[in-house]
Structure 1
Amino acid sequence: MCVLAFAYKMPGLGQLVLLGNRDEQYTRPTEPLDFWPDRPDVLGGRDLQAGGSWLAIRNSGRFAAVTHIREGYAGSGERSRGELVSQFVLGDEPALDYANRIASAREHYAPFNLLFGSTDDLYHYHSRSDQLSRVTPGLHTLSNATLDTRWFKTERLADHLRGLRAAPREDEAFGWLEDNTQAAPGYLPNTGIGSALERVLSSIFVAGRDYGTRASTLLIVSSRGDIAMSERSFGLAGKEIGRRRYTLRPGPSQPALR
């Protein structure tokens, strides 16, 4: 993911209401939102190039999402950051044990933020600073710096969640995620990529020549743990190529299919 805003344990909104966009090269092969054939208790998209996922959830509420940390032009790590999501969601390791394990292996990955845990007990790990924090109830954002960094795009997306007393409608949320308004020069971060590219990437929805928003996601987890997730998929230059929506009810985990 490249921008997230989420309401966590806020009155009237259940355990979690999360909005997010995944930005990626248009040519990178991707499986859109679906139940995973080998684990039908898991819902999420899948990266078909390196494996793993950018955001996934299990019917138990076990959840993870990853963003990269932007420090100049992106380099690749020895291992894909997407496996951090899939490994956690598919596993049964306690969140704090998992955090300790990835901290000891973080040099194998390009810099990343990982939002993970159960939807009623979330954590954030920032690999560059090796900092783990428990997410507090309230409104939070995450992009390519660290949790709650006040960037133009994160604040603009979070503004839509402020004051909500019920989960947003799907069309309403997708409208917010399609916002391509770019920041004025005085509101751009300096992450080492130059002001022209900073401006392109400053909008919630990105539509560059070779790179842009590939998926928009709305995730809603009710107070009793019912899960609803919707996704819009995009191709070249931000053209919509599909929509999907699924629900999961709380239940026991299912073994991998053989």
Structure 2
Amino acid sequence: MCTVVVRVPAPASAEPVRLLAVRDEDPHRPWNPLGEWWPDRPGVQGVRDQLAGGAWLAARGPRLAVLLNRAGHPEGVPASQLESRGGIVLNALEGTSPSGAPRTLGFNLVEVYGTQVTVTSWDGTDIRRETLGPGTHMLAHDDVDDPTTARIAAWHGAFENADPAEWIRVLGESASLDPSDDRAIIRDNHSHGYPTMSLLACVAEITPDRSRVQYAELATPGVWNDLPL
């Protein structure tokens, strides 16, 4: 149950898109840190899942994409025939967004192209795509800015009121909550029946010319420490 915060600039602004992404995953599932791991995709820099070979977050030029899991199983597709969601991020960097009825579990895909930000959501039944308007938005395992998602209700306002340079400070303040608390962003989801924990964070700036991404890992999964971002 990852978390993304993104600020979309006003149309006439020279400001970049700003993004903070926190990854929740099983700490026993191996990954590669931010780097160029795909020889067949020159210039792509991302966080690579070693098992499936795909990306959680990746960027190239003025494009960035990051994937968050959400509930949903496509009807009529047995578990043995489900496709990995890892290729979705890499395809998005080529300008190919999900469509139709993906043979994957549910997801929210955040795509940034220059100063445009879109979110594609798949719940196993319907696929929806929306372009985000100017302002600060927050996304987890349900809809964008969903007031029924506890961590969004608790922290959206704080991110909205802070300069993006202060978002890591806000993230640290959120970690005063127990990591099993529904409002927590730095999470340990074992008590909710999932083996996932917060592992790392990325911050990014995206302009019409380029993307710049920084990466830092938590020293202990699910436990906050100051991140050099």
TM-score range, shorter chain: 0.7 to 0.9
Name 2:84's counterpart in structure 1. Answer: 80
Provide closer, same or farther for how the CA distance between residues 200 and 117 of structure 1 changes in structure 2, counting only shifts above 3 A. same
Conserved 8 A contact 1:76-1:110? no
Give the superposition deviation at 1:127.
0.9
Where structure 2 has 5 or more consecutive residues not aligned to the other structure, the ranges are 74-78
Name 2:200's counterpart in structure 1. Answer: 215
2:113 equivalent to 1:118: yes
Conserved 8 A contact 2:48-2:56? yes
Provide closer, same or farther for how the CA distance between residues 130 and 232 of structure 1 changes in structure 2, counting only shifts above 3 A. same
Give the superposition deviation at 1:176.
2.7
2:133 equivalent to 1:131: no
Aligned length: 214
Q: Which amino acid aligns with 1:160?
A: A
Name 1:227's counterpart in structure 2. Answer: 211
Which string of whole-angstrom CA distances, capped at 9 and with x for unpartnered residues, describes residues 154-193 of structure 1?
24443333244x540xxx433333432449xxxxxxxxxx
Give the superposition deviation at 1:27.
0.2
Give aligned-pair identity as a percent.
21
2:175 equivalent to 1:180: yes
1:41 counterpart SS class: coil
Give the superposition deviation at 1:87.
1.7
**In 1: Cα distance, 2:131 partner to 2:210 partner:** 23
**In 1: Cα distance, 2:168 partner to 2:225 partner:** 14
Q: Which amino acid aligns with 2:138?
A: T
Provide closer, same or farther for how the CA distance between residues 207 and 123 of structure 1 changes in structure 2, counting only shifts above 3 A. same
Name 1:186's counterpart in structure 2. Answer: none
Conserved 8 A contact 1:26-1:235? no
The farther-off stretch of 233-242 and 147-156 is 233-242
Which string of whole-angstrom CA distances, capped at 9 and with x for unpartnered residues, describes residues 2-52 of structure 1?
111111114878231111211000101010112345245222211111121
2:200 equivalent to 1:203: no
**In 2: Cα distance, 1:242 partner to 1:175 partner:** 9
Conserved 8 A contact 2:63-2:210? no
- TM-score, normalization by structure 1: 0.70
Provide closer, same or farther for how the CA distance between residues 69 and 86 of structure 1 changes in structure 2, counting only shifts above 3 A. same
**In 2: Cα distance, 1:181 partner to 1:77 partner:** 41
Residue 152 of structure 1 is aligned with which of 147, 150, 153?
150
Q: Which amino acid aligns with 1:56?
A: A
Q: Which amino acid aligns with 2:160?
A: R
CA RMSD of aligned residues (A): 3.2
Provide closer, same or farther for how the CA distance between residues 237 and 161 of structure 1 changes in structure 2, counting only shifts above 3 A. closer
Give the superposition deviation at 1:103.
2.4
Where structure 1 has 5 or more consecutive residues not aligned to the other structure, the ranges are 184-196, 246-258
